[in-house]
Structure 1
Amino acid sequence: KKIYPTQGSIQDHEISITLARVKGEKESRMIVELLASATRFLVDAIIPQPVSCDSKFGNKIPWRKSLSDALEYAKLDFRPVMVIIWMDGCPSCSELIPQVANSNEIAKMISEEFSAVALNEHRDDVKRFSVDGGYTPRIYFLSPTGKVDTRFYNKWDPEPEFKFYYPSVKGIVRSMKDVVEAYPDRCMASRPCKIHHPKNDHPLLRK
């Protein structure tokens, strides 16, 4: 409630001015907040927002947050890396992604044997993964040091022009088993293997 100063009341007059200033500041903040909300709404409507890995691939599989994170995690205990390249609006991706997300076998193997990351085709760091073209989806297996190992591709239901494309989980699991055999657990002088690594001592291994 606004307080009107009476004649000769300087204190009341000062209170009225203060209240008016506070009211003005509140109204200004409200206007700024409304404008900010409207701007965010327009930006979201015009610019397609990236879809997070978790929203498309579920939370059953322990995906790493980025390629650099996946590579760093792999080096900790010398495990291979699995990279899935996908793209919004890709029909084949829409078919394969739910299969991968719901596969208990893939989830178990990644948790125990791999460092895995799913990358959108439009990311800058995906350019290095164009071994035989830029189609989607495609899956690469990397050595623990981050080098693409071209020995591992879809050999069971292959598409000659798209070697690293897997139409089903079955082929992915077979390749994963081959990769595990090629990169067995082993201790190194400067880095213990998965069995002997003091996992609770490193922040990346607690994620």
Structure 2
Amino acid sequence: MAARNLTKACIALIFNKVHCSSNGGRDNGFGNNYVWAGSLESGMQIAVNHKKPVMVIIHKSWCSACKNLKPKFANSSEIQSLSQHFVMVNLLDEEEPKNNKFAPDGTYIPRILFISPKGAIDHDIYNEEGSSQHKYFYSRPEQIAKAMRKVIDKYKNEQFDV
């Protein structure tokens, strides 16, 4: 427990040094045990500076599937453990980017996208157990953790020229 709190404090310190936005770190119901970037822009900056992949959750306040996912995500010790390898971003309602690249197969919600440490959306990482029409929709923490492990494995041996 103490080690987890120390790790969270160190990560928070790193995030603050990169200047997350002043409202930084809102969990929007996905769990205050995670270190959340204040915005997509600050998350991308942190990712490039620290050579970490980004996990982006796009959701809406009125969405029942989003509401169902939030407590499962928030209480997943596996996702919490894996999250230390990511810059975590969650975008609520109007924070959703208007750029179509954040909706590679539609604007359904929730969507979870992974972005490489170089800043490109990784279309190879999706819910392999889900729908072929809604590849970035996840309903269970196990599905998310599986994708996170795949991202970690994919990028752990790569050297990034920033």
TM-score (norm 2): 0.77
Letter in 2 for 1:162: H
CA distance in 2, matches of 1:126, 1:185: 33
Which structure 1 residue ranges, 5 or more long, are not aligned? Answer: 1-51, 192-207
> Is contact 2:39–2:89 with CA below 8 Å preserved after alignment?
yes
- Counterpart of 1:176 in structure 2 is 148
CA distance in 1, matches of 2:108, 2:143: 18
CA distance in 2, matches of 1:168, 1:125: 24
Which structure 2 residue ranges, 5 or more long, are not aligned? Answer: 1-24
SS in 2 for 1:83: strand
Q: CA deviation at 1:146?
A: 1.4
Change (3 A) 1:130 1:187: closer
Larger radius of gyration: 1
Change (3 A) 1:82 1:124: closer
CA distance in 1, matches of 2:116, 2:45: 12
Candidates 87, 105, 112, aligned match of 1:115: 87
- Give CA deviations for 1:172-203 in whole Å, capped at 9, x if unaligned: 00011011011015556x77xxxxxxxxxxxx
Letter in 2 for 1:97: K
- Counterpart of 1:40 in structure 2 is none
> Is contact 1:119–1:126 with CA below 8 Å preserved after alignment?
no
Candidates 68, 71, 92, aligned match of 1:95: 68
Q: CA deviation at 1:125?
A: 2.5
Change (3 A) 1:126 1:64: farther
Whichever structure has more helix as a proportion of its residues is 1
Change (3 A) 1:145 1:56: same
CA distance in 2, matches of 1:133, 1:173: 22
